[in-house]
Structure 1
């Protein structure tokens, strides 16, 4: 009986260790709080290091808090990150060059950086893909993926712009979460 108890304790300890080893990296996890709930985004710095850094930096500055989703196209994506709410604004930081990868594809739940016609003009605006959109592959930087809370993204008010746009309540790096 003692051996069985020891084996069970070892099994539970090992299971906990494996779960801890698979836990998201808090420095590369973003909490995007919406009115309906929290969206958890895993950043992919191995794919897009400059864009992951920009999102962390702006999140830490509180840049995204209160910013609206200004372009939400059902069956495609929800876009935010423009403090003017027009789709024409950004941060005062320099633009970030395209970091396209052929290792990942824009499928439901992936997060990409919006830009102007110039592929190297990404700044602060980003979008969450709500349906597979592989036609974006290679043309836009994919820097993250939703790992929890996609149902809340699906609840964002549609429109270009929406009549009553949803806002980012708070966006923060998990390592800094209160």
Structure 2
């Protein structure tokens, strides 16, 4: 009997330790890979964008296609509204639109919000009209978030990335004086901030830009609808 009790006492610490020990870490689970980053080298300074392919795969693939083609090289930020957003990605220095690929389906219902520093697909009244243009939110623009599929106003704008570096450059663009110029009645920053190059960090630069100018009728495409109460332009 004493030998049995002694054996039980010796086993208790081992049993308690086995229950308290955490299960071994899984070796198969890996953290999600960080999204690709794009460096916008502009006439005002550099802006680094981190993209969210897990949340907006179509929007990210579309944006990267234009980057790989050198499409954004020489385009401008043609719209800047302090306390709202800055927008670019389609127009040349003389405010002529470039030819784009077909529009993509909106991913505005991906759960991402138009917070300060996020990057979203610009579009026209049709939610599925986004092409090359994008905008950067200067403040938390939750009114631009997806609220339902009833109309273009409730559909919102698809966030597909965020500024990972150079938000001060974005703020400098927003602080530039604006005026009417070319096809736009207002909000064109002066002087025009130019995207000198757009490159995926870690990838080789494209050999050449493949895009050409488009007909003038494309000038109104892919501009975010202004919330009620703001003047048009």
TM-score by shorter chain over 0.5: yes
1:5-46 CA deviation, whole Å, 9 max, x = no partner? xxxxxxxxxxxxxxxx89844xx1111112232211111111
Q: Which residue of the partner structure matches residue 134 of structure 1?
A: 142
CA distance in 2, matches of 1:87, 1:103: 34
Task: Quote how far apart the aligned CAs of 1:166 are.
Answer: 0.7
CA distance in 2, matches of 1:158, 1:70: 12
- 2:70 corresponds to 1:62: yes
CA distance in 1, matches of 2:105, 2:80: 24
Q: Which residue of the partner structure matches residue 81 of structure 2?
A: 73
Highest RCO, 1 vs 2 (Cα 8 Å, sep ≥ 6): 1
Q: Which residue of the partner structure matches residue 17 of structure 1?
A: none
The answer to whether the 8 Å contact 1:112/1:127 transfers is yes
Instruction: Return structure 1 stretches of 4+ with deviation > 6 angstroms.
Output: 85-88
The answer to whether the 8 Å contact 1:108/1:129 transfers is yes
Task: Quote how far apart the aligned CAs of 1:101 are.
Answer: 2.9
Are residues 90 and 118 of structure 1, via their aligned partners in 2, closer, same or farther at CA, if it must alter by over 3 Å? farther
Task: Quote how far apart the aligned CAs of 1:85 are.
Answer: 6.2
The answer to whether the 8 Å contact 2:75/2:93 transfers is yes
CA distance in 2, matches of 1:86, 1:125: 16
Count matched residues.
156
Q: Which residue of the partner structure matches residue 170 of structure 2?
A: 153
1:81-115 CA deviation, whole Å, 9 max, x = no partner? 11356888454311011101352211110000100
Gaps of 5+ in 1: 1-20
CA RMSD of the aligned region, Å? 2.2
Q: Which residue of the partner structure matches residue 49 of structure 1?
A: 57
CA distance in 2, matches of 1:134, 1:152: 22
CA distance in 1, matches of 2:96, 2:126: 14
Q: Which residue of the partner structure matches residue 202 of structure 2?
A: 175
